[in-house]
Chains A and B, each alone.
Chain A
Amino acid sequence: MRDSRLKETSPVHPSHDRLSALLDAAVDGMVVIDGAGRITSFNPAAERLFGYTAAEILGHNVKMLMPNPYHDEHDQYLQRYLSTAQPHVIGIGREVIARRRDGSMFPIELSVGEFKSGSEHGFVGIIRDITARKRQEDALRKNSEELRLILESTPTAIAITDIDGRLVRINPAFQRLLGYSIEALAGQSQEDLVRTLVAEDDRKSLLSDIHKLYHTGESFRRDVRFHSRDAQEIHAMIYAGAVCNTDSQPRLMVSQIIDRSALFAAEHEAEELRAQLAHVSRIGTLGEMVSGIAHEVNQPLTAIANYANAVKRFLQSGRADPMEVAGTLEKISAQAVRAGQVIHGLRKLTRRRETERVKLDCNALIQEVSRLIEFELRFSEHELLLELDPTLPKVFGDGVQFQQVVLNLIRNALEAMKDGAQGESVTVTTSVQVDGYVEIVVSDTGPGLTPEVEERLFEPFFTTKPRGMGVGLSICKSIVSAMDGNLSCRLASTGGAEFVIQLPIVSE
């Protein structure tokens, strides 16, 4: 536009009036100089831009409108052009800095045209203030700088591809995740790129997603297995969105690739926790195991005692048949071996887990147990409430065993309330005691303890339940004792039972 206007002005020989009318009407600032650089014309737009009136400035060297270095060098530019006819600015737009009357500087876009008409030889400069545009550009630059920083520092792998599917940009996270630099992938077509990066089974569906995105701008997400450069398979989730033109035509595709192996790892960890808690919950099974083993050992012991007594009686009666006696003694030793095998198996079972003695965060351990219980309480009317003191100090012990104790106390509490009305609850409270102990209280709203039950509570094999083994509390007691603590019971204010675990605080 500007160029065409110049073409219009320069070759033609305008009458003076026509030229000044033109200059007056122009929106852009226009400054005309002669071959020596003196200002011969200064239009109203230029007056507004520079703060000089035409009257003030006419006849002055144009360099007064320029800050250094242009100010000092302008004469040379002009000289050079006039001698070599090699244009630097003429006919070409330039962004330069201009100086106002008050000395302030502002960015302008300058186009210069040359004109010759008879004796007159000069140049016309068209000046447009680009302060606003500059500011916008700066903001944009700053913006994109921020975006670049985000792109560079985000842990999420990001790739940007153009409408032809060629890679425009990848971020360092992408490079870390998949092992490729942009150079290694540049120039590949969409299909090649997908072939390089994506596991065969996932390619087709991913490509169809991508094509759809380019046609409709529709973003998508998909589980995709990638292949890294070192041939690792990476389970990832790809989120892709389109960057569109003003006419909302997709122009770029931005893909985020979220590594799910980390998620998998977290899931795995959760899985392990569940398995561990399942181990904790096996205390019921432990009770069964103990009684099962007792039963198993009892059988051969019973047989041994019977055989031995039978032999004794046969001998005493004088009716002993030596062969029968020998046979019976053999049976005795076979039963002794059998008992030994049971014991052996038991030893293997107990050796499976060694007791630890580490610092325990009781609250966290209780929370884990509560998750397990809540799972069981899904269909129950009962409720499990936690009132945990966040400042609870640590205690020494074995985490799993501690959880066994808590779990068993909660189970007992729930079992005590089994037939009770709805709205019954078990509360686990933790608190710090003044005497250097932490206290964990499991209280219920059940029927409480009769004096007879209370007296025998901790006896092994004492139970009032048809399917109980009666080992829960005795195991709890021994675990708490091993932690140098104390397990006791009392009546809760609700009328239910309250079991109190006291454990010594670890001195720092």
Chain B
Amino acid sequence: MHPDNEESEQIPSGTVFVVDDDEAVRDSVALLMRSVGLPAQTFKDARSFLDDYDPAQIGCLVLDVRMPRMSGLDLQRELKRRDWRLPVIFITGHGDVPMAVEAMRAGAVEFLQKPFNDDELIRRVNRALAIDASQRKLLHEVAELRQRYETLTVREREIAQRLASGAANKVLAIDLNLSERTVEVHRAHILEKMKARGVAQLAQQMLRLELKAKVIGDC
């Protein structure tokens, strides 16, 4: 389960999930994806996607905005609710501008108006797949860091925070009313538990844990 292994296995793969109520559109999008070697899976509506999809699968969604019963926007909302961070590329019809506006407000930025340029779609799909992969990698790393962090004692966590914000051993010892020696022992334990090579890396790790949400958002 080393992150490096995951990266080499999963980045090139990833499936394009196509959800569109129009059979010809979803079939043709899937074929276009396959023509550039990307596996694609089609769904005739949002519901069947939610039923079939395993959140462990890497990929991206090509999603029609306007669909009967559950619209593309509804699906996007549902994904958010379930905390499934699959990147979404919306494809919209002509009259769907107001919906597109709404989707943008909801945070989706990938929009293609039908009929779309194939290069554009392929480019965006590739980018979305890359995003999903790196986002998963990040999530994985952060999850691992959190696990390591959770093995620290309360005192160690306090010292780790202070070390990460650049406090010297001497200052720490005075502040916490400990001997400098004790501080050093703690420090060695912390670095070991966090698998950090030094205080600089620890600082980075702490930052990541704090900014988890933001780091992912930036992708």
| Total number of A residues with any Cβ neighbor in B under 8 Å | 36
Chain A residues 327 to 348 lying within 8 A of chain B, measured CB to CB, are 328, 331, 334-335, 338
Interface Cβ pair total, 8 Å cutoff:
90
Known contacts being A303-B24, A309-B35, A331-B27, is A298 close to B98, with CB within 8 Å? no
Known contacts being A303-B25, A310-B35, is A295 close to B116, with CB within 8 Å? no
Q: Are A300 and B35 in contact, CB atoms less than 8 angstroms apart?
A: no
B residues less than 8 Å from A303 (CB atoms): 22, 24-25, 27-28
B28, B66, B116: which contacts A310 (Cβ < 8 A)?
A: B28
Chain A residues 286 to 322 lying within 8 A of chain B, measured CB to CB, are 288, 290-292, 294-295, 298-307, 309-314, 317
A residues less than 8 Å from B24 (CB atoms): 299-300, 303, 331, 334-335, 338
How far, in Å, is B166 (CB) from chain A's closest CB? Answer: 48
CB of A469 within 8 A of chain B? Answer: yes
Q: Are B97 and A295 in contact, CB atoms less than 8 angstroms apart?
A: no
Chain B residues 82 to 135 lying within 8 A of chain A, measured CB to CB, are 91, 93-98, 102, 114-116, 118
Q: Are B114 and A298 in contact, CB atoms less than 8 angstroms apart?
A: yes
CB of B36 within 8 A of chain A? Answer: yes
A290, A317, A335: which contacts B35 (Cβ < 8 A)?
A: A317
Q: How far is the CA of A304 from the CA of B25 in the complex (A)?
A: 8
Q: How far is the CA of A277 from the CA of B29 in the complex (A)?
A: 44
Q: Are B95 and A309 in contact, CB atoms less than 8 angstroms apart?
A: no
Known contacts being A310-B34, A463-B98, is A302 close to B118, with CB within 8 Å? no
CB of A59 within 8 A of chain B? Answer: no
How far, in Å, is A318 (CB) from chain B's closest CB? Answer: 12
Known contacts being A294-B94, A295-B96, is A302 close to B35, with CB within 8 Å? no
Q: Are B114 and A302 in contact, CB atoms less than 8 angstroms apart?
A: yes
CB of B31 within 8 A of chain A? Answer: yes
Closest to A471 in B: B95
CB of A468 within 8 A of chain B? Answer: yes
Most chain B CB neighbours (cut-off 10 Å) among A305, A314, A335, A470: A305
CB of B75 within 8 A of chain A? Answer: no
CB of A467 within 8 A of chain B? Answer: yes
Q: Are B96 and A310 in contact, CB atoms less than 8 angstroms apart?
A: no
CB of B203 within 8 A of chain A? Answer: no
How far, in Å, is A489 (CB) from chain B's closest CB? Answer: 21
A299, A328, A469: which contacts B93 (Cβ < 8 A)?
A: A299
Q: Are A331 and B28 in contact, CB atoms less than 8 angstroms apart?
A: yes
CB of A466 within 8 A of chain B? Answer: yes
CB of B139 within 8 A of chain A? Answer: no
Q: Are A292 and B115 in contact, CB atoms less than 8 angstroms apart?
A: no
How far, in Å, is A498 (CB) from chain B's closest CB? Answer: 26
Q: Are A468 and B98 in contact, CB atoms less than 8 angstroms apart?
A: yes
B residues less than 8 Å from A461 (CB atoms): 94-95, 97
B residues less than 8 Å from A466 (CB atoms): 98, 102
Q: How far is the CA of A306 from the CA of B120 in the complex (A)?
A: 12
A residues less than 8 Å from B172 (CB atoms): none
Q: How far is the CA of A469 from the CA of B102 in the complex (A)?
A: 14
CB of B32 within 8 A of chain A? Answer: yes
CB of A351 within 8 A of chain B? Answer: no
Q: How far is the CA of A303 from the CA of B32 in the complex (A)?
A: 10
Using CB atoms and an 8 Å cutoff, list the residues of chain B in contact with chain A: 22, 24-25, 27-29, 31-32, 34-36, 66, 91, 93-98, 102, 114-116, 118
Known: A300-B24, A301-B114, A310-B32. 8 other contacts (CB 8 A): A291-B94, A302-B116, A303-B25, A305-B116, A306-B31, A310-B34, A463-B98, A469-B95
